[in-house]
């Protein structure tokens, strides 16, 4: 079958400054990634990667980003992500970096991975949290996610 194949890169934006994630916008992010690819891979890289490039999902609270690119140029985009060192928005510069969590062929596989990843992150947060109120809130989310997991498994099986 003849179709355009894509790769979806699931990344996490890690930064010390809490304002950095909140100022994330899909246009800001898209221009940042395109500029970095142009710097690292030149005019050829910029042109090749920008054909099928899109920011498909963006979560400002957790900093999760889903980028789409053509399958042939996935390596170019992936190798340019570590060169992103700071996010500039309205004159403020925030140092940050991108952590690639998963590369998938479809949005659905990336979503499945993200659900499992978030469950594991909740458990890690539960271990690390210090405040009692926070602890209760996280415990409630963990029990809710476990119930949903059981429902999913019984629905699939």
Partner 1 sequence: MPAPAATYERVVYKNPSEYHYMKVCLEFQDCGVGLNAAQFKQLLISAVKDLFGEVDAALPLDILTYEEKTLSAILRICSSGLVKLWSSLTLLGSYKGKKCAFRVMQVSPFLLALSGNSRELVLD
What is the contact surface with partner 1 in residues (CB under 8 A)? 38-45, 79
Question: In angstroms, what is the minimal distance from the CB of 46 to partner 1?
Answer: 8
Which alpha helices (DSSP H) does 64-131 contain, by range? 74-80, 107-128
Question: In angstroms, what is the minimal distance from the CB of 83 to partner 1?
Answer: 8
Question: In angstroms, what is the minimal distance from the CB of 97 to partner 1?
Answer: 18
Identity of the residue, 10 or 84, whose beta carbon is nearer to partner 1 in the bound complex: 84
88: which 2 tokens?
A: 């500039």
Question: In angstroms, what is the minimal distance from the CB of 38 to partner 1?
Answer: 7
CB 99 within 8 Å of CB 11: yes
Question: In angstroms, what is the minimal distance from the CB of 70 to partner 1?
Answer: 18
Give kind and range of the element (H or E) at residue 58: strand 54-59
CA angle 37, 43, 47 (to 5 degrees): 75
Identity of the residue, 57 or 78, whose beta carbon is nearer to partner 1 in the bound complex: 78
Identity of the residue, 45 or 52, whose beta carbon is nearer to partner 1 in the bound complex: 45
Identity of the residue, 58 or 80, whose beta carbon is nearer to partner 1 in the bound complex: 80
Identity of the residue, 24 or 81, whose beta carbon is nearer to partner 1 in the bound complex: 81
CB 81 within 8 Å of CB 17: no
SS3 65: strand
CB 30 within 8 Å of CB 133: no
């Amino acid at each position: 079958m003849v179709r355009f194949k894509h790769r979806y890169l699931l990344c996490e934006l890690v930064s010390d400054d809490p304002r950095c994630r909140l100022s994330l916008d899909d246009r800001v992010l898209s221009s940042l990634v395109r500029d970095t690819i142009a710097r690292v891979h030149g005019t050829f890289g910029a042109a090749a990667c920008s054909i099928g490039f899109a920011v498909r999902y963006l979560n400002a609270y957790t900093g999760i980003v889903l980028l789409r690119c053509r399958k042939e140029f996935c390596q170019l985009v992936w190798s340019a992500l570590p060169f992103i060192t700071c996010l500039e928005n309205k004159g403020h510069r925030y140092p940050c970096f991108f952590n690639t969590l998963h590369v998938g062929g479809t949005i659905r596989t990336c979503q499945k991975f993200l659900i499992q990843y978030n469950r594991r992150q909740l458990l890690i947060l539960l271990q690390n949290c210090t405040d009692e109120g926070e602890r209760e809130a996280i415990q409630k989310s963990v029990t809710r996610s476990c119930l949903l997991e059981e429902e999913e498994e019984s629905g699939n099986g």
